[in-house]
Each structure stands twice: as C-alpha cells, then as structure tokens.
Chain A
Amino acid sequence: MKLLEYEAKSVFKDFGIPVPKSVLIRAPEEVAPHLAALGDTVVLKAQVDVGGRGKAGGILKADDADAVRAARDLFSREIKGLPVREILVEERLPITHEYYLSIAIDRSTKGPVILFADAGGVDIESAAQEDAGAVRKVTLPPLLTEVPAFLMRELLGDAPKDLAPVINRLYRVFREKDAMLAEINPLVTTEKGVYAADAKLIVDDNALARQGIAVNRDLTDREQEAEKHGFAYVELDGSIGVIGNGAGLTMSTLDLIEFYQGRAANFLDVGGGADQDRVQHAVRLVAGMPDVKVIVVNLLGGITRCDEVAKGIIAAGVAPTVIVRMAGTNEEEGRRLLAEHGYRMLESMDAAVKAAVEAAA
C-alpha cells in the first residue's frame, strides 16, 4: 500500500531523516496560524496519490500574504481526477542541489537495490534512459543491516559525504517498515543541511498487519469486499466477467479473451480450495458489476473440487449467462450438477472463452 507524502515524511522523520517544516491542513483557513513558523514563502502540496503531481497542478508556491487564497485554489482543484482533501504546507527550502535516492527490491539478486543519481527531480526517468550512467545502482545481500562503506562510496561518487547517513537511515526505513519502495526525489542540499523534499513509501501488502495498517486504501470498495473473501480481484472495463482459480490461469483466461478479441470486465482469482460459499460470493460479486453481460468460469481442480464449484455457481443463481469450463477433482459430479440446471459447459479453456466472447458481442 502506498503511503501519502505526509505519512511517508512522518516515518522518515521518526528515523532521523530531516524533512522540511510543515503543517497538514484540511481547510484553507487552517494554514494562517502556522505561517509565521514556516517562513516568508510556503509550498502547498496536494496529498493525492498520483504520479506527476507537480505537472498536474498539485503543487503551488505562495507568499504568506497569499497562502490562504492559494490553499483555497488548491482545495478546489481535481488532480488527475482526484479531489484534494488534505494539503501539506511546507517551508520553502533554499535548495542548492537536488539528488535522487531510492531503495527497492531486485528480483534477480533477491535483495535490496539502492539507486542514487546526482541530478534528481521530475525528469529522473528520462535522464536514466538517455544516460545509463546517470543513475548509480548497487545491490546488497538482505542479511546486511547497514550499507557497507565501499558500496556507499560507489553510490555517492563525488556527491557530499553528509548524504551517507540519509542513505543508511532510508535503508533502515526500508527494512523495518517492510517497504517495497522507499524513495526520496528530490533529496536536496541547502545551506542548513540535507532534506527529503519529497517522500514515497510503499508498504508490502503482505506485511500491513504487522505494520499496524488495518485497511488497504489502494483498493476500491468492491476490491476490499473481494479481499475479505480471500479473492484476488481487479476491476477492468469490458463486459466479460472472469472467475478462475490461481493467478496464472486467471491471467491466461484474460489473455485468451483478448486473443478472441473480447474485453474482460475483471480479474477474479478465487484462490486455492474454494468451496461452494466462496464460489457463490465470487459469482455474485462479478455479476454485480453493471457492464457484465456474460461470465466465464475457468477452474482447474487440484485442491479445488469441481462439485463444490458447481454448487456455488448454481446457488448464486445470477442473471448473466455463466459459461463454465472445469477439469480435475470431482469433474464428473460437477458436470452432472451443472447440466441438471441447464448451465453451459465446455471442454476446453479455448472453447469456453470463445463462446463467452461470442455471447458478449
């Protein structure tokens, strides 16, 4: 789950990474009493979870005299379709240089990877593409609790040495907060010292509970409902509902829909060993999406039993056409039940998907 900038900065601050002085406001007038402490000019930053926030008009600069008006302006905007409910108002830093720093997970080396660039800011990606040497990259074994000095030297190059503690502190954040990504862009130097001018922190969804996060905000209501039932669920914008077991098989079903030039309404993986109840919930959930015309169910019974799946489909009793393909454990009984209730069963994944695409056309 992605944290908002102010939440990430609060974590960074707890770990000793300097962040600008700031106040979080939920209404324009709330900024007034804090202006004296924030200096002559301030930066107002909309707390919305979008990339390219600055370019989309989510960041304003203002003099103290103008700050309330600027806040009112920003609260009235939508940033890439999202309403602005919270604004982080920060002191404006006298920046002398901007760097880029992030720590993520490298699949190939199965451990952390630290990225550092001498030129941070909004154009870091294009800079990295144009010049492979622009971003320095080191991987390290996950059992190390600190970045060794030789790797620190490799990362920093000619950059000031006082950035090193920030790198080690961000590495601590990364480890202790179960981060998938911890990023500071830009990491800035000023005459007063080093600051994280922006902050990004993505927490591993599998570690939310131990990080004390009760609700995954990245999910829509329907996605949260799905998560409660143990489904992996993503909403798309076609008219063919999809239910499968296992992420790979479900993804492959979606690919096959595209192959036959149809459009999927969703991705729903019921998970391993789904029983009648779970299947019934899954079918109802997908049938409840407004655009769904037909649902294709593709299940391969290993731990999952086909007769349970059939009972779940029948119990859901939904209006859109359900086309079923299932194979594996208790297949015969499942087929018999579905046939009794007049459901359409097809032998192969290809045939079932093709029929669904035709039915949705």
Chain B
Amino acid sequence: MIYTDKNQGVIVQNITGRQGTFHTALMNEYAREVGGRGVVAGVAPKKGGQEVHGVPVYNTVKEALREHDAAASVVFVPGGAAGDAIMEAAHAGLELVVAITEHIPVHDAMRAISYAELEGCAVVGPNCPGLLSPGECKLGIMPAHLATRGSVGVISRSGTLTYEVVDELTRAGIGQSSIVGIGGDPVIGQTFVDVLERFRDDPQTKAVVVIGEVGGNLEEEGVRSADLPVVTYIAGISAPPEKRMGHAGAIIEGGEGDARSKVQRLKNLGVPVASRPSEIPALIRDLL
C-alpha cells in the first residue's frame, strides 16, 4: 500500500453534506470488510456534536484530532471553500489530504497545495476519486467491488475511466496494489512523478498503469522518472484542439499540449502505449 494503511484513522471534511454522508458510509463499510479503522471523525463548521452513520462530528479538524487519532482527511467541501479546508487539514498536522471536490477555483488550489506542501502535507486531487488499496483501505469514492488485490499500481487523472481500466484488469485476473486518482484539474497536488515514487518504494507493486489525458506534460515527466515497468494510456486523441489560450499556452507547452504528440513522446521514451483501454491487460501481462 502507499500513502496510508488500514491502521490509520480518517477524517471526513464536510461529513454532513450529501456526498460526505453517503461516502462515509461506503468507506466504513469497506473498512469493516478489510478490518481497518476507516472514518473515525467528521468535520462540519457549526455542526459539532452531531453523528453521521455513527461517526462523531466536530466543528474543526483540530477539535477532531483532540479526540481521535488520524493521519488523513477526505475533503467533500464545495468549490469556493475547499481550498480553505485543505489548508485547515494541513495546518492541523495531517499528513495526507484527499480532495474529492470538483470546480475548485484554480487560484485557490494553487495556494492551498503550496501551503500544504510547506506544512509537509501531501494533497491528492482536487477533482479526483481518491485512493484505494484493495484489501487495505479506501479514501474517496472509488467503487471498491471492481478492484482486486494484486501487484499492479494504477495512477489516473480520470475517475470513471480509472474504474474502466481497473475493471478490465480484474476481469483479466490482474490484481491491483493501489489505485490513485490524482485529479483532472490544471493544478493538482500529487502528480504522476510523486505517486510513481511511492510505488517504487512499495514492495507490493511490480508494474504501473499510467492513465493520462490531453494537456500538459505531467505524464511524460512521470514516466521519465519511473523506476518501474509502466504501461500508459492517454485519453483525448480525438479531442479538437483546445480553444486557444492566447500565446502563452502555446509558448509554455511549445505545441506539446495535444494527445497525439504526447503519445509519440511516450513511445519515444520506450513505454508501451495502449490505443484503447481494452489493450491494457495484455500489455501489463507482457511486463510482469
């Protein structure tokens, strides 16, 4: 497993919201199945004293940590307030924040992630499905029944496309060590490079599937730094060129933004690139 394990308690921020409540139940159902601690406390400003599915609610992360031992939080706080929630968790001393929230203003994400890094806190996301180590722990919203324990790591910028790939792997009899959705926003905390480093140090992981998307060059940076066998898939080959963002986008990326040239650069690095999700299991099997 990477980032955390079944012995670490988890805090859910905005546990009283619809998504927070729903997924707290699912996370704890999974924790019971695998014998983990799961969600030990929830946070929602001005709602301290309540309970959600038997989990006590506190006004702040600090208050929750006074009563419970936890190392990570999962953030379901809506867009405009999510950056603040990430900083609150980092300031209170948590080592890991998984930010599920979508539509966080990018300037908030930049500041919150930058601050969290100063506090030594790793942020997964925002706009991500979270983290699942089959048989160990689940922090986020991934449908756990599609996954099965094994030795292949999965890193992805997408949500459902990750489930698709995990489903393909499971059906092909290939289990997963950990599955990390790093998020689809322009600015995210943990990148492919960071997660690949964790996989390198994880004895359970023997190979990694990198699922990328059109835009940026974080996939290439990750693959270049990887010490493990890697298979990649890039979504968005057929995407029409993005509405141009002035000259700056083109100058920064040097015309490297589109998926086709990204695929070519990955191939140049000697990495197998699947042309569709259903090809991934066979390519992984060749590496194992």
Which residue numbers of A lie inside 8 Å of B, CB to CB? 51, 100, 102-108, 110-113, 115, 124-125, 128-129, 135, 137, 141-143, 175, 178, 180-181, 183, 185, 200, 202, 204, 206-207, 209-210, 218, 234, 236, 244-249, 251-252, 254-259, 264, 272-273, 299-303, 327-329, 348-350
Q: Taking the nearest CB of chain A, how far is it from the CB of B107, in angstroms? A: 5
Name which residue of chain B comes closest to A2, CB basis. B243
10 contacts between A and B (CB under 8 A): A105-B187, A110-B188, A113-B252, A135-B251, A180-B245, A206-B79, A252-B276, A252-B277, A258-B237, A272-B141
**Given contacts A107-B186, A143-B114, is CB(A115)–CB(B252) below 8 Å?**
yes
Given contacts A178-B107, A248-B160, 6 further A-B contacts (CB under 8 A): A206-B106, A207-B107, A257-B238, A299-B160, A301-B143, A302-B141
For B245, list chain A residues within 8 Å (CB).
104, 180-181, 202
Does B143 contact A302, Cβ atoms closer than 8 Å?
yes
Q: In the bound complex, what is the Cα–Cα distance between A234 and B243 (angstroms)?
A: 11
B106 touches A210 (CB 8 A): no
Comparing B31-39, B41-49, B67-75, B215-223, the segment that makes contact with chain A is B215-223
Q: How far is the CB of A111 from chain B (nearest CB, A)?
A: 6
- A178 with B221, Cβ < 8 A, contacts A104-B249, A248-B162 known: no
Tell which of A142, A202, A218, A234 has the most Cβ of chain B within 10 Å.
Answer: A142
Interface pair A200/B246, CB less than 8 Å apart: yes
Which of A210, A247, A256, A299 is within 8 Å of B276, CB to CB?
Answer: A256
**In contact, B158 and A247 (Cβ under 8 angstroms):** yes
A207 to B103, CA, bound (A): 8
- Closest residue of chain B to A177, judged by CB? B107
Within 8 A of A (CB), among B157-207: 157-164, 167, 184, 186-189, 191
* Complex contact A249–B276 (CB within 8 A): no
Q: Which 3 A-B pairs have the closest CB atoms?
A: A248-B158, A246-B160, A248-B161
Q: Which residues in B have their C-beta under 8 angstroms from that of A105?
A: 106, 110, 186-187
Residue B275 at the chain A interface, CB threshold 8 Å? yes
The distance from the CB of B283 to the nearest CB of chain A, in whole angstroms, is: 16
CB closest residue in chain B, given A124: B247
Query: If A51-B244, A244-B160, A247-B184 touch, does A108 touch B80 (CB 8 Å cutoff)?
Result: no
- Could you tell me if B163 and A300 are in contact, using CB atoms closer than 8 angstroms? yes
Distance in angstroms between the alpha carbons of A303 and B100 in the assembled complex: 13
| Complex contact B246–A128 (CB within 8 A) | no
The listed residue (B103, B107, B111, B247) touching A102 by CB distance below 8 A is B247
Whether A328 contacts B146 by the Cβ 8 Å rule is yes
- List the B residue with the shortest CB-CB distance to A122: B247
